[in-house]
Amino acid sequence: MRFHVRVLLTIAAVSWGALATDAGATGSEPAVDPQVDPAPCLAATAANDDDGIMTVCGALIDNQKTAKGDRIKALIARARVFTRRNQIDRAIADYDAVVWLDASLAEVYNSRGELWRKTGDRRKALQDFDAALKRNPDFIAARTNYRDLVLELERLGALMAVYNKPGFNCAKAHRPVEKAICADPTLANLDREITAVNAKVIERARAGNPLAGRALQREQDAFVAQRNAAFGRADFDLVKAMRARLDQLLAIERGM
C-alpha cells in the first residue's frame, strides 16, 4: 500500500513539472523582445540600394524598439534617398527628426540647409549652414555653402537696388526710345542686362586683344543706333530686338 502511494506521488510530481514547463512555453511569463537588428539597413546603405533603404531602413525607423543611434543612421540614409529622388519635403522631414534626436550633427544641418536652398528659402538655409559651422567650425562644405549664400544674397540686394532701372540715367533721357525704356520695367531690365553683359564681354576681349574689344564696342554702338532709328516704326518690335541682342551677347560670353 505504501509503495502504491509513493508511485502515485511521483507520477503527480512529474505531471506538475510538465504542466509548469508547458505553461512557461505558452507565454504565462512575459517573453523577452528580440533585439532590433540594424544590419539589413546598414547593408542597404553601404550598397547604395535605394529601394532596400526605403524598405528595411523604413522598418527600422518605424520600430519603436530601435536604438536611438540606429534610428538616426536610418533616418539619414532615407533622407538621402528622398534627396536623390527630389522629394525635398520628405528629406527635410527626416532631417528634422534627426535634429530632434541629436542636435549636435553638423553634417545634418548642412544637408538640410542645402535642401532649404533648393526650395528657395534662403533664410532657413543660411540658418542651417550657420548652425553647422557652430557645431564644427572646420566643416569646409558648410563654410563654402555659407559664403556662397551670403554672396548670393548680397548680389540679390544689389540687383533689387537697380531693379526696373535701365543701364543709363533716365533723368538724362531725351530720345523717345530712351523714354519708352525708362517707362517700361521689362524694357528697363533688358537694357540693364544688355549693358552689364556688353561691358563684361568687352572687358574680357580687351584683356587678350584690344582690337577685339573695340570691335565688340562698335557692334553695341551699331545696335543702339539701329534701335534708335527703328523705334516708332510699325514693323519694329523693341522688346524682340532687345532680347535678340541680349541673347547674342550671352552667346559671345559663353564662347569666351
- Angle (deg, nearest 10), helices 106-119 and 68-84: 30
Q: Which residues contact 99 (CB under 8 A, 6 or more apart)?
A: 105, 108, 109, 112
Contacts 24+ apart (CB under 8 A), 211-215: none
Burial label, 122 (beta-carbon count in 10 A; 0-12, 13-18, 19+): middle
What's the confidence (pLDDT) of residue 32? 42
User: Which residues neighbour 162 within 8 Å (Cβ) at sequence distance 6 or greater?
Assistant: 192
Go through 81-108 and write b for each residue having 16 or more CB atoms within 10 A of its CB, e for each that does not: bbbeeeeeeebbebbebbbeeeeebbeb
Q: Which fold has domain 103-162?
A: 1.25.40
Alpha-carbon torsion (242, 245, 251, 256), positive or negative: negative
Cα–Cα distance measured from residue 248 to residue 233, given in angstroms and rounded to the nearest whole number: 23
pLDDT digits (tens, 9 = 90+) for 141-193: 999 999 988 887 777 665 555 567 788 889 889 999 999 999 998 999 899 88
CA distance 78 to 40: 13
In the chain, where the domains are located: 37-102, 103-162, 170-254
Question: Looking at the chain, how many residues does it have?
Answer: 256
Place of cell 535634429: 99
pLDDT in tens, 200-236: 899 988 888 889 889 999 999 999 999 999 999 999 9
Output the nine-digit C-alpha cell for 57: 531602413
What is the pTM for the complete model shown? 0.53
Provide the CA 221 distance to its chain's centre, in angstroms: 42
Average pLDDT, rounded, for the chain: 85
